[in-house]
Structure 1
């Protein structure tokens, strides 16, 4: 029923402050244990981790296909600033806020900063999807969000290992990360090479399933070899986009629909975990102050520094600084922290959950309003 309502209002949502993401989040909250108890889900239930894992794998796979090497080479300066300078600065500012405002120890503060550093433009789809928004800004947000999930993941894994939250440490952890990248590169190369042999060729109507088979094969091999499946997914997406752009085009619509379905389902489940007690009793006042500052101060301050000397108009600069919505990567990384059992795991997860809730509400309700501020002259500016 929630999916049906979301689809029926999606066209209007694309033109107003309505948001399907907010709809699923609120539906999960109302249907969860804290209100109607229709969907009795707890954080330790297997379905939570499995659904979040599949959703993030799908997100990273499709995100990787948006940022092939050719895309990065065509206009890399602004995304490069946001990724190589903005991402570490966002992590650092968030960690400082977590330590001095929320009261977390330094290690857990940096872990929280790494969890909250990635962005997800799906919650600000009017910005990246509207033609009146300048192409330079859309390209910046698309590339940044497509890459920063994968860049933040190794940092989260290393910090979790240092905090004692994983059984894999040191060289074994590095091996899992490296093996995931290798699997993500080798599998697509082999499959694409096979498909291009003269005696092997996928039927045109089944061509999108070839890319699906690549994703499933990467998932299976990573699971069997204990390679990091998220980095495997991200590497596989980039490899497909770089080695066979035609596969990306054929997979695009089907892949986006599957990913969107998994993401909305994950939001629903995540909303069911957010109870009234979760928000108003288990998070102190300083936790709320931290959550607000993490949204309105951390990323804007980081990108303000990153864009010094950049060729980006002021209006677009402000939009990029504001639109850093927290999404599925942060949800899944937060669940990884919760399941790790480290000393501050519960408090860190509560702060992650609160920031994501506030981010979804704030960014999904302001994307259309800000998108309308750009006129046709801005939209015709080049993307390079």
Structure 2
């Protein structure tokens, strides 16, 4: 039934995608709403629970694909060539966002410090999918689009070690477990670097060469091999995927270019499927279980944490106020946060259920708000449009 529902919603998303590109309609919201409506606690069409095997498996595959393609988007050469603004957002903005979110979780919701910093790490990454009209608009300044693209491409992987460490602290892990965790992290990075380098060196040797028809599959083969080795050796497969993507982008620009479009499509399909499943885990009863402090926390995480963090980060950066405001607002919480929340739920720590509820609420509000306002904000940068439609309506006394 899940495959049938996904296929139907995917076809509908394709048919309305042109309209969604021009309006506040969002295909991401479409999958989220479809999951919500068809979930077990709403209409019962989809029988899915957080502990259902398909939920964990799909989430892992999707996040691996997203991190692998994110890494391919930001090779070391790209980072060195234009690192100034993304470096501010990642070096200052990400940890400050984590800190402000953790403070809100501790003082407002009452989570212990390890759990508060854990939820801060989970909600610190951003997702460019829900701001596609902004990052894909040529009228938007190139430095702003580059900033949002690079930041969202790197921060999933940068936030992951924080999630791993704070999750271990929240679980009260002993020294032996922490040492084992360190080996998983190191092993994942090592596999992500060594496997792509070996594959690229083999292809460049005199003995081997990929035909034009098989060139796009080279990236697929490398990614699958990284994933399989990480699973067999119990290394961290997410860090392996992120490191693998960066290594391919750095050492194999040809392989990167051949894989780019195909990889983006695969990652997008898996991400949309995961959003459908995530929506099915949410219900009116689920949202009703969240206290008013939890609702306030979700809005603070969106309206306070990132704006404050980036306001500090961009002081003296040269970005004008309009660009800064757009960057502050478009820090949508997306797919990586979904999976990190599911990892916490599977961990069995005492506050796992409460953390998942708070993460889920923040993500749902973020998807609805950010994916519905990207077109409006993008129009502010369109020189061919003197004033956005909503601006004119306000001045004429109209209502939105």
| TM-score, normalised relative to structure 1 | 0.96
User: Aligned residue for 1:381?
Assistant: none
Aligned positions of 1:32-181 closer than 5 A: 32-164=39-171, 169-181=177-189
In the aligned structure 1, how far is the partner of 2:252 from the partner of 2:105? 43
How many residues matched? 376
Q: 1:239 to 1:369 in 2, by over 3 A?
A: same
Contact between 1:165 and 1:337, CA under 8 Å: does it hold in 2? no
Are residues 1:311 and 2:302 paired? no
In the aligned structure 2, how far is the partner of 1:199 from the partner of 1:348? 53
C-alpha distance after superposition, 1:226-273 (max 9, x if no partner): 110000000010011011111111111111111110000000000000
User: Aligned residue for 2:251?
Assistant: 243
Contact between 1:94 and 1:298, CA under 8 Å: does it hold in 2? yes
Contact between 1:166 and 1:340, CA under 8 Å: does it hold in 2? no
Looking at both structures, which has the greater relative contact order when contacts are Cα pairs under 8 Å and sequence separation is at least 6? 1
Contact between 1:165 and 1:341, CA under 8 Å: does it hold in 2? no
Contact between 1:62 and 1:256, CA under 8 Å: does it hold in 2? yes
Pick one of 371, 377, 391 that aligns with 1:370. 377
User: Aligned residue for 1:283?
Assistant: 290
SS at the partner of 2:42? coil
SS at the partner of 2:22? coil
Q: How far off is 1:166 after superposition?
A: 7.0
In the aligned structure 2, how far is the partner of 1:165 from the partner of 1:246? 46
SS at the partner of 2:336? helix
User: Aligned residue for 2:269?
Assistant: 261
Q: How far off is 1:375 after superposition?
A: 3.1
Deviating beyond 6 angstroms after TM superposition, the runs of 4 or more aligned structure 1 residues are: 165-168
User: Aligned residue for 1:380?
Assistant: none
In the aligned structure 2, how far is the partner of 1:344 from the partner of 1:165? 12
| TM-score, normalised relative to structure 2 | 0.92
In the aligned structure 1, how far is the partner of 2:194 from the partner of 2:62? 23
**Structure 2 residues not aligned, in runs of 5+:** 1-7, 385-400
SS at the partner of 1:283? coil
